[in-house]
Amino acid sequence: MMTNKLIARLMVATALTAAAATGTAFAAGQQDAALAGAAKAGTATNDEAITSKIKASLADQKQIGVTTADGVVTLSGSVASTDVGTKAIQVASAVPGVKEVKSELTVASK
């Protein structure tokens, strides 16, 4: 009889340990998901800051559109010359946090 009680207690202890481990893993997973969400929000905020800085630097070039996603900047629109387009790309590349600049700029025909 004593053996049955000991086995029952061991089984309960094992079940509780497994449940606690699962709960800890679940909580860790929830924390990881929250941190990933915060990092994603931080990236979006950083992208907005990058876009704002580039637009401010290109204030005299209203025809150039600027979008940023995960640090990758895309310039779009029509420019008067290749020199203007090259300058816009250089300005965008110089902003901290920019990983890459993609140009969809076209040169306006005269």
Considering the domain boundaries, does residue 71 fall inside one? yes
Domain harbouring 86, CATH code? 3.30.1340.30
**Average pLDDT of the chain to the nearest whole number:** 80
Considering the domain boundaries, does residue 101 fall inside one? yes
pTM score: 0.62
Considering the domain boundaries, does residue 68 fall inside one? yes
φ/ψ of residue 83, rounded to 5: -60, -40
Q: Where are the beta strands (DSSP E) in the chain?
A: 64-69, 72-79, 100-107
Total domains in the chain come to 1
Beta-bridge partner residues of 2: none
Take residue 32 and report the two structure tokens written for it. Answer: 């990881």
The letter for the amino acid at 25 is A
pLDDT below 50 — which residues of the chain? 24
Considering the domain boundaries, does residue 83 fall inside one? yes
The C-alpha atoms of residue 104 and residue 64 are separated, in whole angstroms, by 10
